[in-house]
Amino acid sequence: MAMQTPMTHNVTPKSGWQILAETNLPIADGFESQVQTWMLESLYTLRIAPEVSNRMLKSALEAISRADNLNSNEPYLPLVHLRLYTPFGLSIRSDLKRNWGFFRIDKHGGISPEDDQADHLIELFLYLDS
């Protein structure tokens, strides 16, 4: 099962956010370690404090677990699309130490076609905490 780990930096200026990274993940045995690896690689350049990245990982895994429970009667493995955002125009530089916060938005069912027909979309929005 191949993981996608692009650092896409897609820009969505209307919303004020840019995509840092995204991946599709079938919910199967071992998904926790795949999510952890993807998230650590994606967040590496931001120098996020371990306690914040651990909370983000826990939040993402809780959302995936909830998504898996919604599909427990389905005969196929549900597909989850994970996406990380940072504020639009933010310089992604590893030499800057910043205080980060985050919030999560989950979307279940009816995901748009650009999300590769995912059953669930989990978006984590990083913001600078003052």
Q: Domain-by-domain residue ranges, the chain?
A: 53-91+98-130
Q: Tens digit of pLDDT for each residue in 99-130?
A: 899 999 988 765 555 545 667 889 999 998 86
Tell me what percent of the residues of the chain surpass a pLDDT of 90. 32
Q: Tens digit of pLDDT for each residue in 35-92?
A: 999 999 999 888 888 999 999 999 999 988 876 665 555 555 678 889 999 988 877 6
Cα 72 from Cα 93, distance rounded (Å):
41
Look at the block and give the residue holding tokens 């999510």.
Answer: 35
